[in-house]
Amino acid sequence: MKRTFLLILVALAAVAVFAGLVHAVLVAAQLSEPAATTVYGLTPRRLWATTVSVLALISVVIGGLALRRSFDISTGKGRMGAIVALVAGVIAAVNGGLNLATAKGGPGSGNGVVGAAAALVLGLIATVLGGLALTRSRRRVSSSSVVD
């Protein structure tokens, strides 16, 4: 019971930190003010932001699994997963940043700024996770290849 409660609290804290980071990115990009008129439906910019956000979320999961070394592709022991998370995280962060840089309005304007900010934050997290997992796998490979 205590462990479940702790996991719920950690998940809520993670969501709060994520929402705060997304808001901070929107404020830094000066796109935090809502649009005067709201655009409904899927626009090309929203589709771009959503696609990149999904890519970033998948790369965070792959990076986390690679960091745990449970994402074992062939004999890499997480190395391939780390590389995938690193590359996909960079792609997501760059695309999220590009979408934010070219946006002309805030949330509700149809520019996909919330999704782009989420992609930027998640892409950076995935890049860090992939880099950590890659460093850990290199360290393990180099230490196991030393012959005494």
Tens of pLDDT, residue by residue over 53-72, are: 999 999 999 988 888 875 55
- Say how far apart CA 78 and CA 64 lie, in whole Å: 10
Per-residue pLDDT band at 136 (split at 50, 70, 90): confident
DSSP code string of the chain:
-HHHHHHHHHHHHHHHHHHHHHHHHHHHTT--SPPSSPPPS--HHHHHHHHHHHHHHHHHHHHHHHHHT----TTSTTHHHHHHHHHHHHHHHHHHHHHHHH--S-TTSSS-HHHHHHHHHHHHHHHHHHHHHHHHHHHHHHHHS---
138, pLDDT greater than 90? no
145, pLDDT greater than 70? no
146, pLDDT greater than 70? no
Q: State pTM to two decimals.
A: 0.78
- What digits encode the pLDDT tens for the residues 88-119? 999 999 999 999 888 887 787 878 888 899 99
84, pLDDT greater than 80? yes
Asked if 84 and 59 touch (Cβ cutoff 8 Å), the reply is yes
